[in-house]
Amino acid sequence: MKNVKNIFYLFCVAFFSAPLFSQTENVTLPDITTTVSGEVVAAGKDALPDFSKIVPDDKKVDSVLPVFAEENVSFDEEPVADFSFGEAKTIFAQGLVGGGFPGDFIGDFSVYKSIGENPFKIEFSHLSKNGYGKHKAGDGFFNSSTRLFAEKTITAKSTDFVIGGEYKKNETGLQSVSPFFYDLNSQEAFGNFSVRKKFSHGFGFESKTGGSWYNRYAGIADGKNDFLKQEKNIDVVYLNQNLNFSWSGKNFFFGLNGKLDYGTLAGNFDSVEIENIFRAEASASAGWKNDFLEISASGGIASGTEMGTRNSVPFFDAGISFAGKDSPLKNSFSFEVHGGLDTYLNSLSELENKYKFSQLVSLPSEVSDWFANAKISVPVSKFASIYSSAEFRKTAFENGTWEAVYDSKIDSGIFEIASSDRTLFSTDSGFSYLWNVFTLTAGWKSHWIHVPADEFKNYISTSISFDSKEKSWGFSVSLQEDIGSDSDKCPLLGGEVYYNVKESIKLSFELSDAIKLFAGKDRDFMKTDYLVRAGCASLFAKFYF
């Protein structure tokens, strides 16, 4: 069995290395996902400035040196970096860089080609937070994350070949709370290869092969303590294959889908409840839609080795959606309603990344829910609208949801993630109002029955933002109060001021959790001995090319 697991482990390492370190594109700048809010400024396609006013024609002047005009010269469009070598610009870049107090740094960059033949995308980001308030990073109060992503599409006739890869790394200090470990770290690699083929008469086919490798490891503070091998270090490999056949006509659409998933623990580990998982599902979907209305239904069956008390679980979904802005109403009225039976499998890395200061020592099993959700947005006037949404979920077939158990630590000082039945009913309502150059918003989110492990029972929020008529500068202020038995009674106060230096450059100053920042106080993480970052002042620069 160990030889089989080693083969899977080596296969995944080789599989991911190809897309992550492909040399098919010599791109010198990475690509980003930015976190600064505000209006996105898109560079024009003819963004090179006209220098005819300041650089004379060679026929008129003998000197090779330009003679500059005395008057001020202004440009209608901002100059941009053009990677297209004389042709219409098709390659773009954007970035975000900044830092703040106490000990923040963020760098987020991307280069991409989204139009034309053979598009690609490259993204790189790094975020680090060293020190929480008055607590030093050397005492375990730090966290950081790094991400690298690349994807390339090659088109041959009516067939697209897509290869992609991603690498992520996270580091979290344990704040001297754990008697065994001083930090908790993880790294994860993904790879996929897909083929998309379009046929005549609206038919299509897609095949996607992928996999991932996840490694979580901890720095040992005291090696004399007794703990499971997978508490210190765990390796997990997932492989998957997805096939999809589709057809779409003028208003109708239809699809058939098949999926296979395999997961296994790799490396050395102590005895576990679930070491390997195999899962397969088949489904069909159909519907009708036009510009503003869509009616759809889907259903299928899933089978596998960890389906709870059953060998297989059915699933289905039926829904209707309406978009008023594209309808004869020509306003922002919209609604969406869905319901059915849902069944899915969380990966181990997905759960450990979602729930802070927690870990699994075995692979998670199937989750099944009866569900219904609805959303509606109603325009009250030309300048105001209200919205509301509701979600209901109830455990089916005893396949409970996986959540961190924050009211009970294991000996290592890390929280466990466990499966439990639950009935969830949540609502989210609010309104927005546009008055001249100001926008006002308010909202209320509530969990009426079960409260998710990483959330509170109620959230109340409000904000006000201002944008100058020329969109050259603006500001926003937001306030959120978390109401619940385990919540901090101090509201979250934040704000931002931005200034567009040029069309392609934006500067912003941001405050988060300002009350805690200026008071020098800590913010507890749920009702635990751990802290979350309380207060930060940051300066960012964002650019587009």
Sort 169 into a burial class: Cβ within 10 Å, 0-12 / 13-18 / 19+: middle
Query: Rounded to an integer, what distance in angstroms lies between the CA atom of residue 206 and that of residue 246?
Result: 9
What one-letter code names the amino acid at 31? D
Most confident of 25-29, 36-40, 485-489: 485-489
pLDDT tens sequence across 442-470: 999 999 999 999 999 999 999 999 999 88
Tokens for 474, please give them: 């603006």
Whether residue 145 is predicted with pLDDT greater than 70 in this model: the reply is yes
Whether residue 11 is predicted with pLDDT greater than 80 in this model: the reply is no
pLDDT tens sequence across 219-269: 887 767 778 888 889 999 999 999 999 999 989 999 999 999 999 999 888
Note whether 421 and 395 are within 8 A (CB): yes
Query: Rounded to an integer, what distance in angstroms lies between the CA atom of residue 434 and that of residue 427?
Result: 24
Cβ neighbour number for residue 425 with a 10 Å cutoff: 15
pLDDT of residue 489: 82
Tokens for 236, please give them: 């997990």
Torsion of CA 288, 291, 293, 295, to 10 degrees: 20
- Among 237, 398, 236, smallest CA distance to 307 is for 398
- Among 413, 491, 419, 404, smallest CA distance to 454 is for 404
Q: How far is CA 511 from CA 9, 116, 310, 489, 507, in A?
A: 44, 40, 51, 19, 14
Can you state the percent helix, strand and coil of the chain, rounding each to 5?
A: 10, 55, 35
Torsion of CA 260, 147, 542, 544, to 10 degrees: -60
pLDDT bin (cut points 50, 70, 90) of residue 65 is very low
Note whether 395 and 363 are within 8 A (CB): no
What one-letter code names the amino acid at 476? S
Tokens for 129, please give them: 């937070």
Query: Could you give the 3-state DSSP secondary structure of residue 429?
Result: strand
Whether residue 86 is predicted with pLDDT greater than 80 in this model: the reply is no
pLDDT tens sequence across 270-308: 888 899 999 999 999 999 999 899 999 999 999 999 999
Tokens 């039976």 correspond to what residue? 341
Query: Could you give the 3-state DSSP secondary structure of residue 324?
Result: helix
Query: Rounded to an integer, what distance in angstroms lies between the CA atom of residue 542 and that of residue 37?
Result: 10
Sort 41 into a burial class: Cβ within 10 Å, 0-12 / 13-18 / 19+: middle
Q: In terms of DSSP H, where are the helices of 342-474?
A: 348-354
Cβ neighbour number for residue 188 with a 10 Å cutoff: 22
CATH entry 3.40.50.20 includes domain 88-544: no
Residue 464 β-bridge partners:
440, 477
How crowded is the C-beta side of 134, counted as CA atoms within 13 Å? 6
pLDDT of residue 87: 54
How crowded is the C-beta side of 359, counted as CA atoms within 13 Å? 29
Cβ neighbour number for residue 482 with a 10 Å cutoff: 19
Cβ neighbour number for residue 383 with a 10 Å cutoff: 12
The average confidence (pLDDT) of the chain is 85
What integer is the mean pLDDT of 394-417? 91
pLDDT bin (cut points 50, 70, 90) of residue 22 is very low
pLDDT of residue 285: 98
Whether residue 51 is predicted with pLDDT greater than 70 in this model: the reply is no
pLDDT bin (cut points 50, 70, 90) of residue 67 is very low
Query: Rounded to an integer, what distance in angstroms lies between the CA atom of residue 530 and that of residue 369?
Result: 32
Whether residue 19 is predicted with pLDDT greater than 50 in this model: the reply is no
Torsion of CA 314, 320, 323, 327, to 10 degrees: 140
How crowded is the C-beta side of 183, counted as CA atoms within 13 Å? 15
**All residues at 6 or more sequence positions from 1 whose CB lies less than 8 Å from its CB, including other chains:** none
- Supply the DSSP symbol for 218: E
